[in-house]
Amino acid sequence: MLNKIYDWVDERLDITPIWRDIADHEVPEHVNPAHHFSAFIYCFGGLTFFVTVIQILSGMFLTMYYTPDIENAWKSVYYLQNEVAFGEIVRGMHHWGASLVIVMMFLHTLRVFFTGSYKKPRELNWMVGVMIFIVMLGLGFTGYLLPWDMKALFATKVGIEIAASVPFIGEWIKILLAGDATILGAQTLTRFFAIHVFFLPAALLGLLAAHFIMIRRQGISGPL
């Protein structure tokens, strides 16, 4: 059945050359665990992408039930976790995945740094990777407030005050995140939701596309 579907699509869009280009791409010997025990350190990038995909899919499920409103945000999270089938599992995946993706990305960044993979001709890809790291941290920060409980509220307040202490632009950052209100409220929650669900994911997908294209053009870096 799948072969018939593939043949039907291939006949119209000629996808076989694209698939062959992906499937038949050679992988350097030093990243093959069968030949080199140290090859496992090259897996952190792939693991980061895998967890990112889980975050995207689970996040899409959560947005089907979440209400970005100070009156109903906590109630919608409670309903999702306690009333929706598999809701507790999906929310747990998204919650713990938010921490795991940072750990995987940190390990991937260490591997790139200590193997010198940021050097010529991969300087631009290193900068894109750093921007991806910053976007991921932003996703973690903005997502922390969304359950709208006391822990999230006070932690976000501390984070916003830290951002406000940035020289010259700190006050602008605070207004961007929290709005004009002196306390965290409806405007803050709405902005955090929009940044978390629309702006940062769009930036992340664009940066990931650039990251993968450069990896494909330049190849996987050599061993230390």
Give dist(CA 6, CA 218) in Å, integer.
Answer: 30
For residue 210, the model assigns a pLDDT of 96
Domain ranges of the chain: 42-218
Note down pLDDT in tens along the chain; length 224 residues. Answer: 888 998 899 889 888 888 887 777 777 777 776 666 677 888 899 999 999 999 999 999 999 999 999 999 999 999 999 999 999 999 999 999 999 999 999 999 999 999 999 999 999 999 999 999 999 999 999 999 999 999 999 999 999 999 999 999 998 999 888 887 667 889 999 999 999 999 999 999 999 999 999 998 888 887 76
- For residue 160, the Cα-to-chain-centroid distance in whole angstroms is 21
For residue 37, the model assigns a pLDDT of 62
Contacts of 35 (CB under 8 A, 6+ apart): 29
For residue 34, the model assigns a pLDDT of 65
Residue (of 146, 155, 53) closest to 101 by Cα position: 53
For residue 224, the model assigns a pLDDT of 66
For residue 130, the model assigns a pLDDT of 97
Topology adopted by domain 42-218: Cytochrome Bc1 Complex; Chain C (1.20.810)
Contacts of 51 (CB under 8 A, 6+ apart): 97, 100, 101, 104
For residue 29, the model assigns a pLDDT of 76
Give dist(CA 202, CA 16) in Å, integer.
Answer: 29
Instruction: Locate 177 and state its tokens.
Output: 């995140």
pTM greater than the 0.85 cutoff? yes
Residue 28, number of CB atoms within 10 A of its CB: 15
For residue 18, the model assigns a pLDDT of 81
Longest dimension (CA), the chain: 62
By CB atoms closer than 10 A (0-12, 13-18, 19+), residue 210 is middle
For residue 135, the model assigns a pLDDT of 98
Question: What's the number of CA atoms in the CB half-sphere (13 Å) around residue 63?
Answer: 12
